[in-house]
Every structure is written in C-alpha cells, then in structure tokens.
Structure 1
Amino acid sequence: MFNNCLDGLLVLDLSQYIPGPFATMTLGDLGAEVIKIEPPFGDPMRHAFMEGEDGISPLYKQLNGGKKVVKLDLKTQEGKEALRQLVKKADVLLESFRPGVMGRLGFDPATLKDLNPTLVHCALSGYGQTGPYAQTAGHDMTYVALTGALSQTGHADSGPVPIFPPLADHSGAMQAVNSILAALFRRERTGLGAFIDVSLFEAALSWNYLSLTPAAHGQVDKCGQGELTGGGAAWYAIYETKDNRHFAFAPIEPKFWQNFCTAIGREDLLARHMEPQPQTDLIQTLRDLFKAKTLSEWSEILLPADCCMEPIHRPDEVLNHPHVEERQIAFGHEIRYPAWVDGLPPVERQPMVECEITDLLSDQ
C-alpha cells in the first residue's frame, strides 16, 4: 500500500489557507501522521469560499482530511511549552508565517534545532526568508505576476487573466513536499535534520521556464500570442461552438493535424499546419468552422479521430466523467492522492479530527 510509505513519521503543520495544508495533506496521503496547529481563532480557510452544512468550508475539510487539528495560542507560555513538547517528538515541522514570526514566538531555526537536531523544518513563505521582498505581503496572483507568467496568460485584445487553479500556491506546496522528502532521505543516511526555505514565488518562477528561457535569448511573446498561449498557433487554441460551449484543440504533431483534416473532410487545410505564426488567418478560418456545429456534434466527429481535442468540461461534468470514475480519484466531496501504486487506487482519507492539546501530548 502506497499510503503507508511514511508510516511512523510525525508532521506538525503550522500553516493556513492553501499551500501549507495542501503540502501536509500530501504527506498524510503518503502515511505520515499530521497534527495541524491553529491559532485560537482557527485557520481562516475554515470559512473561505463556501460554507458547509456545519458552517465549515468543505474546501477546508478537503485540505485537512486525515489530520488531527488542535488550537494552540503560541503567544502564551502554556502554548509555547506544548509546542516544544511536540517538536521534540516530530520528524517534520512546516510553517507558513511571514519571515521572522517564528523567531519572535521563540521558535527560530536554531532553537528548533536545539529542541530536535533531526527535525526537518520547512518554512513556506511568499518570497522566501531573505531578499528585499521577504516581508512583502502577497497572494497567488501577485506572486505569479512577478514571475512573468501572467504577462503571457490571457488574450491579445483584453490582456492578462488570473491563472486558476492558483499556480504559486500549488507549485509551492509541491516544492515543499519534494524538499521535505529529500531531507528525510538524507536524514536516513546522515542523521541530520534540515532547515528548508521554500518560496511560493520561486516555485512558480521555476515553472515559467518556457517563457523565461526564450526571454534570456531576446524572444518575448505578447500576451496570448505565443505558441502555447492560444493566439499564435491555430493548432493549440480554444474554440467556441454553435451552442456557446468551448473545446481545447491541440493537434500539434502533423499526424494529429492530418487526423483532424481527414475527419472533417478538409484536406485543403493539411498544408497550412505550419504556416508562419501568428496564424491569424488560419485561426479565424477554424473559428468560423467550429461555430457551425454544437459541442456535442464536434465531439462525435473529433473525439474518435485521435486529434487531441477535448471538450472544456464544467466541474460538475468532470465528477461524472467515466474516466474519472474508473480511476477513482474524485468522489465529489474528496479529491484523492493522484497516483495508483502496485495496481491499487488511492485510498479514502479519514475525516479530520478536532483534538485537545492534552490528548495529543498524552498520545505522544
């Protein structure tokens, strides 16, 4: 079973909102025990975006499934002492405070190392622990704006649009998980703990190599006009149908373009596949063509043609898609760990459990 890979590991989660909880949820999916430590007023994510029947956001429950959740006031001596006891037993501590806050609470990296020399401490922040932006507030969209990715994402006529799902939040979470697992692997060989400084901005920046590398060579595309941003190539774009639905169209390779042209009986388009970009005229030709039929009609023609076409599904349609059901990843209320191992699907997460600190200390 893949969900027991990290059995016996204790993770302390002092993070809020999306990035840190997503990272520790992933560690929990791999078998770690996760204790989420929240301030007395709780994680604001409890009431974010939507409200459940019990007043708690289902998104908060998704991010914290399988965790033990406790409220602890780290500004009090009792709260500090309780955290010290937990740190001594923990393998990993992940926190998402602004740089310097952990130190002011009495838990700077040196103090944590003294308490537990083998601890893997991951500080997950917006811009990192050092540098002129270290204390700058931000959210996903502002982090991605600084990476240059937003300048490419959008439409030539109306400009940039936000990226969804949040790119920096989730790339940062995965960078934290990767770094923590690497540090744990090193600890197995050396016995050494680690202090890891992960920046949401830098995680997203590293994913933007597709525009940063060309920029270093003097090539910068306009918003929405690159090969992979929808306005440069007719063969990698989103098109609208007669019934005002949309589909993604990506016959990049010649064989897929040929399959497309054959399926619609337009062999005259074969030679236009690699016209110079931006392929403005060809894009308009396809726009006019695709507006002549409904999404259902185009799906009947193009899905069997093996030409890299897929309808743009609404979230409620995704949950009922036969492939999603077969793969056992999404079950409406829960999106599970996205991998099968040894022929077995991901397992269901246990619900989060609200705990008292006295119960947790006695368990340890």
Structure 2
Amino acid sequence: MSNLLEGLRVIDLSQWLPGPAAGQMLADLGASVVKVEPPAGDPMRRLGPQDPDGVSAWYKLVNAGKTVLRLDLKSEEGKDRFAELLAAADVLLESYRPGTLNKLGFGAERRQALRPDLIHCALSGFGQTGPLAKRGGHDINYLALGGGLIASGTAERPVAAFPPVADHASALQAVSAILAALFRRTRSGQGASLDISLTETVLAWQAIPMTSALRGEAPQREGDVLNGGAAFYRIYRCADGGFVSLGAIEPKFWANFCSAVGRESWIVRQGEAPPQNGLIEEVSTLFASRPRSHWETLLNEVDCCFQALLTPEEVLAHPQVQARGQVNVSGAEGGAPLVEIGFGGWVNGQPPARRTPLQEAAPAEVLAQWWRVELQ
C-alpha cells in the first residue's frame, strides 16, 4: 500500500478535515505529502482534545504521514519558497475560498508557468462558480443543500450523521479525481484543474431519490425500505438499551431470521408496503424483550444480515477488526491514547502500513528530499 504512489509529490494547502483527509490518503498510498500551513498553523491544531504539547490529537491523526512546513504566503519570502515547491510538485491540493490563490499571486497562469503538468485540485464547499461559491459552510450545510439530510432520521425530524459524511466523502472524491488526472498525465503529459465541491459530492448520490420524488414518490423518513420503513431493514433497541441492526433485504435472509427467532408467520409479510408499521412494532417488541447479548448469541451465526451496534471500545476489540490490521492504538504524549486507523484496503495481501508521526521541516529540506526522489 505504501509504495503505490512512490515518487509522487503533493502540496497540501488545505485545513480542517476534507482536504487533509484527502492528502493523507495520498500519503497512505505512497506519495510524499507536504502540508503547507500559515505561521500560526492549521486552526485544527486547536480543535478537539489537546495533548500536553498543545496540539490537538484530532489534528495529529488526520495529518500523520505528512511533512508540515510553515510559510507566510502573504510575504515575498514565503511566496518565493512556495514557488520553488510548486515547481517541483506533481499535485497541489487546496481548500481556500474561490479566488484566494489568485490574490496570493498563484493563479492559473502562474501555476502553469511554474509547473505546466501540475494537477491542481480545489476542494470547496459549493464549487468554484455559482451564486454560493464564496459562502462559508460546514458538513451539515453541504448535506442539507445536496439532498443528503431530508430523508434521513426519524419520522419527526432529520438527523445528521456522524462522523461528517460530506467531509469524508469529498476527500474520497478528490483523491479519485486526482488519480484519474495523474493517469491521463502519464499518457498525454497534460496537467489538470479539478473543482471538487462537498455539496456536489453529496448531490451525486441523489439520482435515485430525486427521480423517485419527481415521479411523485419522494422518500419519506422512516417511510421507505432503506431509511427505516421496512421491518427487515432497521435498527432496533434491546432490553438493556443496546441496539442491533437487521439488514435482511433478500427473502432468504428474512426467512432465516424469522425462523431463528421462532416467528415463521412473519416470513410472508416481508412484502407488505412500507412503512410496515404493524410489523415493525412486532419486531421491535421482540427485540425489546431481551438484552443485546441474547440476540448476538442467537443470531450472530445465522445467515440473516444481523449485526449489533458496537461501542468504539467493542469495535477495536472485535476479532474481524483485529484480523484485518487496519487499527493501531498507541499512547500519545502524556499517556493519552491515539487510535490510528489506516487506509481502508489491502494490497498484494498486505494490510495498510503504519503512518509516520507528523513532522515539521523547512522548505529546503523538502526540496532536497523531492529532488533526490526524482533522480533515483
């Protein structure tokens, strides 16, 4: 996993979560990622639990595997150093408001002059154009505009998901676009300018519900098969306050579940039109009659798409998670734990590699390393 993009040089100008998460994925795949921050640092350094060194654990987690250097891009010296870095880079990832790079003196013409085949990825809330291009926002706002909230939650009100969906999904979208642009560059030598929007990342998932809506069948919260309206695809509360999930969409899985819990009469009711309120109430009553551990003992080995909702501690201890080697728990400075979760995939039979700790460097150090990589 760690050498698929070996030799690729990435400048990450982004802050907070979406851009840094995208940069980290590129680093996980083997790229050399340099995170350029203003003299005061990325404001995410102060968001979340603080370690004794005054830096947020959250910031460390999402930027591990990168090299950080601080430059004042409003100063002439900072601009000169950044120009040197840009001339050596393959990818520039940034999450400024549209127009900011132009104001700093690194618009499209300057970037083209410094590195003609540069892949520039601008990650923003609403995109580089349109009436909302320069409006501020966060995950919940992009989900709202992109259609990702209205049909999620309880019948009484929409509910936002956690961790933030648009932030993480747009990081994946940015990486996908960057890799596609790099693939084209290997054949044509051409760079690319990528405009990735958090809102449009969410909107891209809405073709099915929007088509349904325009046909007079708009999804209703807890009213459709996949959002709580079907007894066979729903989250249930147990007697001890724990929760379990049932995803028995296929008839064979539903039949297996019904047989396992001694309710064969429910099998023929799977086809009832949603919302299946009567059947949902009966299944809810059943699950509420026993603690979560009872249902795990009964159903974990039944082929019915059942899974208990686990606490973070239970996830970390789960045999499947441990067997895949994606998670590593270590002690940070002062003894506070850090849960590093690596890239979600194996390559050539190997689990994701451990990330190197966040480290800071000077521009000259980065350039020396980059040119050595190029000359190998």
Matches within 5 A, 1:169-318: 169-230=167-228, 232-318=229-315
Aligned residue for 2:343? 337
Instruction: Provide the alpha-carbon RMSD of the alignment.
Output: 1.2
Task: Name the aligned partner's letter for residue 165 of structure 1.
Answer: P
Q: Which runs of 5+ in 1 are unaligned?
A: none
Shift of 1:168: 1.0
1:12-59 deviations in whole A, cap 9, x for unaligned? 000001110110101111111000000111111112122223322222
Which residue is 2:361 aligned to? Answer: 355
Instruction: Please name the residue that 2:374 is paired with.
Output: none
Counterpart of 1:167? Answer: 165
User: Superposed, which structure 2 residues align to 1:28-39 within 5 Å?
Assistant: 28-39=27-38
Query: Alignment partner of 1:304: what SS?
Result: coil
**How many residues align structurally?**
361
Deviation digits for residues 184-241 of structure 1 (CA, Å, limit 9, x no counterpart): 11111011111111101101111233322322333212223221111x1111111000
TM-score (norm 2): 0.94
Q: Is 1:81 the counterpart of 2:80 in the alignment? A: yes
Query: Residue 88 of structure 2 contacts residue 367 of structure 2 at CA under 8 Å; is this kept in 1?
Result: no
Instruction: Indicate conservation of the 8 Å contact 2:147/2:202, yes or no.
Output: no
- Cα offsets for 1:259-307 (capped at 9, x unmatched): 1111111111111111121100000011111111000001111111111
Partner amino acid, structure 2, of 1:356: A
**Secondary structure of 2:11's partner?**
strand
Gaps of 5+ in 2: 330-338, 372-376
2: CA distance, partners of 1:111 / 1:129: 18
Alignment check: 8 A CA contact 1:21 1:63 kept: yes
Q: Where do residues 84-163 of structure 1 align in structure 2 (5 Å cutoff)?
A: 84-157=83-156, 159-163=157-161
Structure 2 residue matching 1:225: 3-state secondary structure: coil
Structure 1 runs, 4 residues or longer, greater than 4 Å off: none
- Cα distance in 1 for partners of 2:187, 2:276 equals 55
Question: What's the secondary structure of 2:366's corresponding residue?
Answer: helix
- Tell me the distance in 1 between the aligned counterparts of 2:182 and 2:111: 16
Partners of 1:247 and 1:261 lie apart in 2 by 15
Distance 1:221 1:191 in 2: 46
SS in 1 for 2:77: helix
Q: CA deviation at 1:362?
A: 4.3
2:323 is paired with a residue of what secondary structure?
Answer: helix
Match of 1:11 in 2: 10
Quote the Cα distance in structure 1 between the aligned partners of 2:227 and 2:50: 35
Corresponding residue of 1:65: 64
